[in-house]
């Protein structure tokens, strides 16, 4: 009987220690390089104008989902966009990039959008770089804050927030 107990204990300890050594000496146990957590964060402030044109001869936003039952807030309506970003409020001012992505009306009671956008820049030191925004846009608020969740090029690993303010708006019934 003692030999059975000894065998059982041996198998139990072997199994436990095998699992322990696999975890310690496996892929997830590599030594990490100690890096300083103190990093200088670079702050960039950009000002540009976003032109979202949903009708006319050359729309920059196209409705891709239209619900059969219209609601007061256009709930569920979804647009794909490729909007110009300009240096000044006039649409004819210098083009500095494009806003490309999707926005959708996400509230049954308010005019709120889910914004999934890349602001891709084409001028100056930002040429070829982009900022990624993912968040809620409360359209009727005077100033809206949306999170910057990443970027590319000079904005790689960007984080922060974008403030949006409507300068001019023509209401189109969807």
Q: Are 94 and 86 in contact (CB under 8 A)?
A: yes
What is the DSSP code (8-state) at residue 40?
A: P
The predicted pLDDT at position 73 comes to: 86
Task: Give Cβ neighbours of residue 77 (< 8 Å, ≥ 6 apart).
Answer: 63, 65, 66, 67, 104, 105, 174
Q: What is the pLDDT of residues 71-114, one digit of tens each?
A: 888 899 999 999 999 999 998 999 999 999 999 999 999 989 99
- Whether residue 23 has pLDDT greater than 60: no
Q: What average pLDDT does this structure show over 142-156?
A: 95
Position with higher pLDDT, 3 vs 118: 118
The predicted pLDDT at position 38 comes to: 66
Alpha helices in the chain (DSSP H): 2-25
The predicted pLDDT at position 132 comes to: 98
pLDDT band, residue 122 (cuts 50/70/90): very high
The whole-angstrom separation of Cα 113 and Cα 63 is 14
Q: What is the pLDDT of residues 44-66, one digit of tens each?
A: 999 999 999 888 888 999 999 98
Q: What average pLDDT does this structure show over 144-148?
A: 96
What ranges do the domains of the chain cover? 49-165
Say if residue 18 is exposed, middle or buried (CB neighbours under 10 Å; 0-12, 13-18, 19+): exposed
The whole-angstrom separation of Cα 173 and Cα 111 is 13
- Whether residue 173 has pLDDT greater than 50: no
The predicted pLDDT at position 70 comes to: 80
The predicted pLDDT at position 25 comes to: 47
Q: Are 118 and 132 in contact (CB under 8 A)?
A: yes
């Amino acid at each position: 009987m003692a030999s059975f107990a000894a065998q059982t204990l041996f198998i139990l300890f072997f199994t436990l220690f095998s699992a322990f050594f696999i975890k310690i000496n496996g892929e997830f146990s590599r030594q990490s390089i100690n890096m300083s957590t103190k990093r200088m964060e670079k702050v960039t402030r950009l000002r540009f104008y976003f032109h979202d044109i949903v009708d006319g001869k050359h729309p920059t936003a196209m409705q891709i989902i239209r619900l059969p039952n219209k609601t007061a807030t256009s709930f569920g309506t979804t647009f794909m966009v490729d909007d110009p970003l300009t240096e000044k409020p006039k649409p004819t001012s210098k083009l500095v990039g494009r806003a490309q992505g999707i926005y959708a009306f996400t509230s049954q009671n308010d005019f709120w959008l889910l914004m999934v956008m890349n602001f891709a820049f084409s001028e100056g030191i930002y040429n070829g770089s982009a900022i990624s925004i993912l968040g809620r846009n409360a359209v009727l608020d005077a100033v809206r804050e949306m999170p910057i969740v990443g970027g590319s090029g000079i904005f790689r690993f960007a984080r922060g927030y974008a403030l949006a303010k409507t300068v001019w708006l023509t209401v189109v019934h969807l």
